[in-house]
Amino acid sequence: MSIDRVIAALLVAAGLAAAGWAVSQGLERFRMSDRTVSVKGLAEREVESDFVVWTLTFRRAGNVFGEVQQALAGDRDRVAEFLRKAGIEDSEVEVRPLQVVDVYSREYAQPNQPVRFTGSGQVLVKSARVAVVGKAALAIDPLIQAGLIIEGGSGPRYQLRGFNEVKAPLLAEATRNAREQAAKFAAEAGATLGALKSANQGVIRISGDDGGDFDDGSARVKRLRVVSTFEYELR
């Protein structure tokens, strides 16, 4: 093998090794031409929800309008009593009007419908007392066992309304993480870390603590994650 080929092979090997080292250090881009380094800063934390909305929807059906309406009214009273005993305050409860529909009056109603009337009621709980509502939701089985027909998906939906209070420290952590990586790279390269040239804070992603990629509201603990990009000068 000629000396030129040996030198070329050594240069390629050195380049691959440098690239591998850069990736392992979280380095996004390094340009010797203008002496800059671009790095990504990662920050994650778990935060307790600070607000909850619990929608309890219940249904009834029958062939006599008055009976369906009366049954729904009884269900509504049972739900309200359950919530009071669970420690939910009246100011945290919103009761929606009952709705009863005559199935036979629909334009495309089928003549063989098993029941003529279907109805529903809805009670909403809106509260900043997340723990109290969460505990009540876990104790709802006796209502169902007593014959209350609750619509699927009626579990509490947890929110993080104080997002801005968490946002600032999360971004600060990502910034520190990126600067530490950039400083480490500069030291290894025999350079000094210079001024910040540009920054992209990225998007803060909120997901549940169950490992999912998005927040559907069912998780009481939220996981926040941000990846920010920074470009520094090297001296």
CATH number of the domain that 221 lies in?
A: 3.30.110.170
Rounded CA-CA distance 96/210 in Å is: 32
Residue with tokens 């092979």: 9
- Burial (Cβ within 10 Å: 0-12, 13-18, ≥19) of residue 154: middle
- Show which of 159, 189, 211 is a domain's final residue: 159
The one-letter amino acid at 2: S
> CA separation (Å) from 122 to 30, 75, 86, 159?
59, 10, 18, 20
Query: In sequence order, which residues have a C-beta less than 8 Å from that of residue 65 and are 6 or more positions away?
Result: 100, 102, 116, 117
DSSP state, 136? Answer: H
Residues 29 and 95 in one domain: no
User: Is beta strand 205-208 parallel, antiparallel or unpaired with respect to 221-234?
Assistant: antiparallel
Q: What is the pLDDT of residue 107?
A: 65
Q: What is the pLDDT of residue 112?
A: 74
Tell me, yes or no, whether 224 lies in a domain: yes
Backbone angles phi and psi of 150, in degrees to 5: -95, 135
Which stretches of 63-172 are assigned E, i.e. beta strand? 93-102, 117-127, 157-159
The domain containing residue 61 runs over which residues?
52-159
Tell me, yes or no, whether 84 lies in a domain: yes
Pick the closest to residue 49 from 128, 118, 138 (CA basis).
128
pLDDT tens per residue across all 235 residues of the chain:
444 443 333 333 344 344 444 444 455 555 555 688 999 999 999 999 999 999 999 999 999 999 999 999 999 999 999 999 999 999 999 999 999 999 888 767 676 778 999 999 999 999 999 999 999 999 999 999 988 989 877 789 999 999 989 999 999 999 999 999 999 989 988 899 999 999 998 889 999 877 667 888 999 999 999 999 999 999 8
Q: What is the pLDDT of residue 208?
A: 87
Tell me, yes or no, whether 1 lies in a domain: no
Residues 113 and 155 in one domain: yes
